[in-house]
Amino acid sequence: MHSPSKENIEFKYYNVRLKETIEIFTKRLFYALFEEQDNNEKEISFLKTTFLEIASKLSIEKSKIIWDTFKERFLDIRKKLDLDATAIEKNDPATKSLEEVYLACPGFYAIAIYRLSHELFKLKTSILPRMMSEYVHGVTGIDIHPGATIGDSFFVDHGTGIVIGETTIIKSNVKIFQGVTLGGIQVKKSMSSTKRHPTIEDNVTIYANATILGGDISIGANSTIGANVWITKSVPENSLVTYQTEIKISTKKNGI
């Protein structure tokens, strides 16, 4: 069997090295939110230059206007992140201080990059927000689509394995534990412009490995969703949803 000749093979080449640039851009965006004023101007200048380079390679139009609009939202993003950090420090017994949240909590880092990428998503910056979310997904194991809508004081505990789909709506004071999936009940390309993911109302807690699927699904306010629950229909407010299984513990005889 003969290998096809080089002249008969046609490839479309993509600028995959841009992933490295996006990684640096994403990290330094995060740092800039917490930078002291003396260093901030230099950092913002670097970020602007990098953004314009990325925009050129991704054919993003009106990139200077987009950057200026995005930069104006930094203060609001920081305010939201401070609320998120406070929620984590308040609810996680293993976290001893706010400093620990900012420096050592993967859930907070994932939320921070989500909030940055979400603003860029709203500004229609091509695939840049997705590349940012995929970078932090690789670092933290938390997959939040930049198109999702998430309210104030969002708490993610541990976080590994969390998946939050593009059209998910999460309101304020929601707590989510590791392994939770907020996804679509069907995967069809024809549904790309429809709401495919659930709505989580205020003050909901979702424990580890719960799965909630469907665009018309709503979890009512003040509800608690227990671990390992699979939900494909709406839950009224003030509900407790649990999965019951029987575990038997017996004493070994003769140590066997």
pLDDT in tens, 219-247: 999 999 999 999 999 999 999 999 988 77
pLDDT at 201 over 80: yes
Q: Which two tokens stand for residue 56?
A: 């050129």
Least confident interval from 36-50, 69-83, 138-152, 170-184: 36-50
Fold classification of 15-141 (topology level): serine acetyltransferase, domain 1 (1.10.3130)
Instruction: Give exposure, 10-39, as e/b (b: 16+ Cβ within 10 Å).
Output: eeeeeeeebeeebbebbeebbebbeeeeee
Q: Does the pLDDT of residue 184 top 60, yes or no?
A: yes
Per-residue pLDDT tens over the stretch 92-133: 999 999 999 999 999 999 999 999 999 999 999 999 999 999
Fold agreement (15-141, 148-243): no
CATH code matching the domain that covers 148-243, chosen among 1.10.274.10, 3.40.1280.10, 3.40.50.10680, 2.160.10.10? 2.160.10.10
How many C-beta atoms lie closer than 10 Å to residue 123's C-beta? 18
Q: Which residue ranges make up each domain of the chain?
A: 15-141, 148-243
In this prediction, residues 80-98 reach a mean pLDDT of: 97
Question: Does the global pTM surpass 0.85?
Answer: yes
The residues, any chain, with a CB within 8 Å of residue 34's CB and separated by 6 or more, are: 78, 102
Closest CA to 129 of 180, 58, 198: 58
Q: How far apart are CA 224 and CA 209, in angstroms?
A: 13
Q: Say if CB 78 and CB 33 are below 8 A apart.
A: yes
User: Which has the closest alpha carbon to 201: 164, 176, 227, 172?
Assistant: 172
pLDDT at 256 over 90: no
